[in-house]
Structure 1
Amino acid sequence: MEAGQLTGSGARTAVEWLASVAPDPDACRWEWERNPLGVALLPAGRRWDVLILKAELGSPTLDVLSRLVDRPGPVLADFDDARMGFFVPPGTAGCWVGTGVRGVGVGNWIVVPYPGRAGEGVRWLIAPDGSGTLTDPLLLELAMHEAAAGLARDGGY
């Protein structure tokens, strides 16, 4: 099983948590479960915001973050693994200041894969567990700084 995959009740709990932000959660779940791509378009800014980083910085940031906490919040990778999205508390995107980081918050929507189902395209690197765990923005920022310093040291950033 991939790191981002859930099974059984964990996947159901994650689905309920994610779908709860949809304008019509029942319709969202119904469509999501039948969508051949296994994705839904969900509004950001209600239960989470998403900070999107290029993978060159996102991957080492996730490595650092995984050493700092037992389980970071949900993390997505896009279709070609060029970008990664870190789920953070609502309101974070509106006040985030950082070069090369795109904030997705209130008024924006994000493509979200169905938890527990392997698919092509957008995928979970760390799937939500349904508990509402999100990545602490301060820890994310510290992890980004450490990752950027490591890349600079290695000549890759």
Structure 2
Amino acid sequence: MPVVPALWDLVTVPARQGLEAVDILRRGAGDAVGPVLHDDGCDTLGFLVPPGTAAGWDVPGSTCTETDGRGLTLPPLPPVEGSDWLLPPGEADLATDPAVLRAALGEAARMIEAADSCR
């Protein structure tokens, strides 16, 4: 089974927005989304993005955590305690492009807002 480079940052979003974004990314180019984590409570999703993303991340409602960047590799086990893979590392084990993720999260937020306003 492939390993994921530890050189990544982690974008964390509310689960609903994250699931919408995953659908948007998978409908576009199927390989546009890299590995995705979910927490045990299914409250949040975490997208692995390239290192350095945290320095310029400013998407409302999300956070981007910088990793230590020691260059180690992670086994296919979740790298964060209390989490599991929604989309495990596999053939497309690259980190998600931050610009593509930013656009998908924006579209997801607009879809959720529209759906909530129809209630």
Query: Normalising to structure 1: TM-score of the pair?
Result: 0.61
Q: CA RMSD in A?
A: 2.5
Count of residues in correspondence between the two structures = 109
- Aligned counterpart in structure 2 of residue 67 of structure 1, from 20, 27, 32: 27
- Aligned counterpart in structure 2 of residue 79 of structure 1, from 37, 40, 44: 40
Higher helix share: 1
- Aligned counterpart in structure 2 of residue 151 of structure 1, from 101, 112, 117: 112
Rounded to whole Å, the distance in 2 between the matches of 1:143 and 1:129 is: 21
Give the letter aligned to residue 152 of structure 1.
E
Could you list the runs of 5+ residues in structure 1 that have no partner in the other structure? 1-10, 22-46
| Counterpart for residue 12 of structure 2 | 52
Give the letter aligned to residue 58 of structure 1.
G
Query: Normalising to structure 2: TM-score of the pair?
Result: 0.78
Greater mean alpha carbon deviation, residues 140-149 or residues 130-139: 130-139
| Counterpart for residue 92 of structure 1 | 53
The higher relative CO (CA closer than 8 Å, separation ≥ 6) is in 2
Q: What is the percentage of aligned positions where both structures have the same residue?
A: 32
Structure 1 runs (4+) deviating above 4 angstroms are: none
Give the letter aligned to residue 11 of structure 2.
L
- Aligned counterpart in structure 2 of residue 127 of structure 1, from 88, 92, 96: 88
For 1:110-130, what per-residue CA distance to the aligned partner results, in whole angstroms no more than 9, with x for missing partners? xxx95279xxx5111111237
